[in-house]
Structure 1
Amino acid sequence: MFNDMGTRCLGMREVVGGEALNRGSCIDSDADGDQISSTDEAKGAKGTHVFLGGTGKYAGMSGTADYTSQSVKSPDGRGMTLAIHQSNWTLSP
């Protein structure tokens, strides 16, 4: 259900004592155009998304997704982040 989704987040990063803390809001979109809204908080490479709801097949979604991220180079030479998620979620009727 979550394979090959694109994620865009708007947030902020604080660096304290050499450790990065990220907080933000995200929209995950799939190939059908259905979306999931979430908040995000991460320390270093580990973080958690909290699902707030969604559209289409994701309508009524709630839950969390813990993840580990890794910076990689995109095909066009720009930077991007690969994030492996472990999700726990439910869909409300």
Structure 2
Amino acid sequence: MQTFLIGYDLNKTGQDYADLIDAIKKLSSKWWHHLDSTWIIKSNSTAIAIRDILAAHIDDNDELLVVKLTGDGAWAGFNDKGTKWLITNLPTT
């Protein structure tokens, strides 16, 4: 499985995130969400395929980023559960 970072900005006032969040959770049972608009998931898919699935849940003026993670990461301030998930699931070089 590969690891992907998903980030988004829904720019319309009063935007409903529920459909997009449900779509992200359906992509993988292994997901991390400790920042407002940032997710990390494990998937056998590609960044383009993930983008295409999620793009159906955003408006034309919204922004969506899907990036395959390939190296080390660093973080601060997360609880033990969040940190453990990152250590276990982020790829290492």
Q: Same fold (TM over 0.5)?
A: no
Task: Determine which structure has greater relative contact order: mean sequence separation of CA pairs < 8 Å that are 6+ residues apart, divided by chain length.
Answer: 2
Instruction: Decide which structure has greater helix share.
Output: 2
Instruction: Decide which structure has greater strand share.
Output: 1
TM-score scaled by length of structure 1: 0.25
